[in-house]
Amino acid sequence: MSTSAPGGLSTARHEVPDDTTGLLAPPVPAVPPGRSRLRFRLTVASAFVVGVLAVLVLAAVHLTQGTADVGLGDLLRLVTGGDADADRTAAAVLVASRVPRLLAGLLVGVSLGAAGAALQSVARNPLASPDTLAVNAGAYVAVVGAAVIGVTLPFYLSGTLALVGGLAASGLVLVLARGGAAGPTRLILAGSAITLALHSLTTVLLVLFQQETMGLFAWGSGSIVQSGTSQVALAAPLVVVGLGGLILVAHRLDLLALGDDTATVLGIDVRATRVVTILLAVLLSATAVTVAGPVGFVGLCAPVVVRLVARKVPGLNRHRVLIPLAGIAGVIVVLGADVLLRLVLPGTYGVAVPTGVITTVFGAVVLVWLARRLKDSGPAAGTRAAHVRPRGARRALVVVTVLVALLVAATVAALLLGDRLLLTGDVLNWAADRAGKQVSFVLDQRVPRVLAAILAGAALGLAGTVVQAVCRNPLAEPGLLGVTAGAGLGAVGVVLLVPGVGIMGMSLAAVVGALGTFAIVYRLAYRGGLSSDRLVLIGIGMSTGATALTTLVIVVVAPWNLNVALTWLSGSTYGRTFDHLVPVVLALLVVVPVAVLHRREMDVLALDEDTPRVLGLRLDCTRLLLLGASACLTAAAVCAVGVVGFVGLVAPHAARALVGSRNGRVIPVAMLLGAVLVSVADTVGRTVIAPAQIPAGLTTALIGAPYFVWLLWRSRGREA
């Protein structure tokens, strides 16, 4: 659409997406001559000087840290020329360990900081980064896949593989989020779904190919520990090319910030600029992953820090200045995290714990802070609920009958299939206490697993129904609100820190973790009202932080027992007994009546923000009650099967498609669908590669993530 400007000129009008966080400053006009130009240059130079000085200070401290008894005095004697033996020891430590680690931190920080700044500008979204666009996840799964094959690839070929994986993942996320124009929530949801699917695939490879992928679990959280400078030396030219390319397109990015139509009128090829910028940003991210693994959220934190400074210091938001400054800020984030890590965890722990764990926690805090800055769009802010056709009561009865039959069939199949095939007669004999020792041994282990999968699936289906109704968001689920990760952190922490803890102790820890996380998310999201977008984004940030802390606990407390912890975090019924079923049974007995009694309130809550108030519904109290009940259900499910994702998303959404949006009908259908989904996933995981097993949570994620992507794709055209 165009309008006529004074003088007969036609100017294009293009609506630029609102920056809901206020961080993306408008482009800076041309620098005026004279004193203003000098002041501008001095300001920019001062910013660079401060950044470089901070890097030098951190680098000096960084070189003094390590497991060897080499301190600042030894390094000074090495520089000034002192004791020969001390010089040789200090030089050996520096060359073999500390300098390579420092150089890796510099390279990773510069790469991810600059890449994050470029991706934010292309998407016009301050929440875009190599993590939220799944670039790191795509690159990581490509590297792990190469390790599984057993082929030792040279650095540049491995980097090319990571580049292809990162491009594919980020391209899919940007397509689903309409290039970031659909707003921050959709971008983060799409990125989270793709990241979780790729993470599930990676975890499957790590669990099934332990020998081939040994050491890649900790590396998968981002570790800058290096055995020499060879990889950094090989990666440096790629980083130079990526940074140089971004500097060359910096002026185009300045004009692109004005809007697509305006940039086109000014002679900019918008599509080519976007493609080239994304290629360069992914090249930098893939190079960093190849050197140090996916170091989390540096690409989000560093540009945000620079943009915050740019709001006070004019001129820093010009991309020719912003991109290199974001690279310097990235170095500060990486080195600062590594210095803090080795201050808090000295000795061998500083080597074992990945630096990316600390940066991820910091990034989660930044993501939560950005989410709290989201502007509400009005009383009914939030994602619109799913639109489904009305369904009759007869159809609901038929659906429930069919699902009950499917659940019975899935239960029978789960009892018969596994590493040893049984017959129906064997199960009947076991039930009558007439089975032989071998059959009894198999079923004594298998029956609790089958029941755990069914009950946990039903609990997650109900929890997802409640969350989606209360949040008015058909793409929300307990995992995206941080509840699942919080429960996992509590359970894993108690299991590893308190050896021999019983089922009730673990269950209590999971409930405390889930409710604590939920309380923090709810409190942070509530700002004069509860925005659905803000709730989901803060929940994702909390989930990311809790997952990083879980990794920290595992690596510090039980680095030799990674496979057990990995299996737990992947959602597995392995080793379950009837005692594990008690928490989820109790939770269902309490929460199901609560949900049924409040089914009409849930129907009203799913409409908008105003209707419940007009009808006299105590909105905040009802929300708090229902979300708290959902958190308890999720914690109980974690006690039964570990961390299982996407069941709370798929089951309620499919239930609404089958029986309509009335929660009185959705609740039983979603519970049945969740039970069938987890039961089938557990059976498939125990059968397809027996005697090895695939955790049920990975199977549900591999099924649920594509379904989630399909939901985003289907709604893409409607929201455009």
Domain ranges across the chain? 35-370, 393-479+503-509+562-715
Residue 440 burial (C-beta neighbours within 10 Å; 0-12, 13-18, 19+) = middle
Asked if 338 and 62 touch (Cβ cutoff 8 Å), the reply is yes
Q: How far apart are CA 569 and CA 559, in angstroms?
A: 15
Q: What pLDDT was estimated at residue 215?
A: 63
Q: What pLDDT was estimated at residue 46?
A: 87
pLDDT beneath 50, residues of the chain: 1-18, 28-31, 377-387, 719-720
Q: What is the pLDDT of residues 23-52, one digit of tens each?
A: 665 554 444 555 567 777 788 888 889 999
Q: How far apart are CA 185 and CA 540, in angstroms?
A: 10
Q: What is the pLDDT of residues 54-109, one digit of tens each?
A: 999 998 888 887 766 665 666 666 656 555 555 566 666 676 678 888 899 999 99
Q: What pLDDT was estimated at residue 13?
A: 39
Residue 519 burial (C-beta neighbours within 10 Å; 0-12, 13-18, 19+) = middle
Longest pairwise C-alpha distance within the chain: 98
Q: What pLDDT was estimated at residue 240?
A: 94
Q: Which of 492, 701, 560, 493 is nearest to 214 (CA)?
A: 560
* CB under 8 A, 24+ apart: contacts of 246-251: 246/114, 246/118, 246/277, 246/280, 246/281, 246/319, 246/323, 247/320, 247/323, 247/324, 249/273, 249/276, 249/277, 249/280, 250/318, 250/319, 250/320, 250/322, 250/323, 251/319, 251/320
Q: What pLDDT was estimated at residue 375?
A: 62
Q: How many other C-beta atoms lie within 10 A of the C-beta of residue 704?
A: 28
The reply to whether omega before 668 is within 30° of 0 (cis) is no
Domain 35-370 and domain 393-479+503-509+562-715, same fold? Reply is: yes
Q: What pLDDT was estimated at residue 716?
A: 60
Q: What pLDDT was estimated at residue 377?
A: 44
The CATH class given to the 35-370 domain equals: mainly alpha
CATH of domain 393-479+503-509+562-715: 1.10.3470.10
Structure token pair of residue 678: 């987890």
